[in-house]
Chain A
């Protein structure tokens, strides 16, 4: 079974440029997460989707970050414009929500963003 797929794996851009990340979750997983992982830190949740609905976007900097999950499957995370401080790894994860509240999250390999 294929895991969570993310692309690109690496991205280098100049500040003030836009950038987009793409995530394809595990087939059948209705919950999708975007995390930010700074160097030497644990992942921090940016946004969580239940199917097409963003149910927790409280940590998403909405002035420059946006996300969408079309048809409840693939998702894109966009930054416009990027700032130097956005350099980090952006992780996507997915899980199968069964209503028990304890659903293992499967992470993709991440996209390493470098803003120059």
Chain B
């Protein structure tokens, strides 16, 4: 089991560029999440999904989009990158809702300049 994998590990974007952060899990989890973590801060939920074809906004969704066409994959799309999106992005998955632990990917470090 690879668990949760994320690509790329690092990326530098110019302002206004777009990119997709990839996330894949092999644990057959229904629930998947995208977070961002700014220096010295906790994780903020961007989007989440409770199953293929179902996504919903989290606390900080502006500037991002997601899709969930399969159970395994949950890509995060950044359109028109801005310096405020410089952060570490973590994807996570869990077996179910509130009671279940989350398994995190190793993160993507994104810098927008």
Asked if A pairs with B, the answer is no
Residues on A lying within 8 angstroms of B by beta carbon are none
Residues on B lying within 8 angstroms of A by beta carbon are none
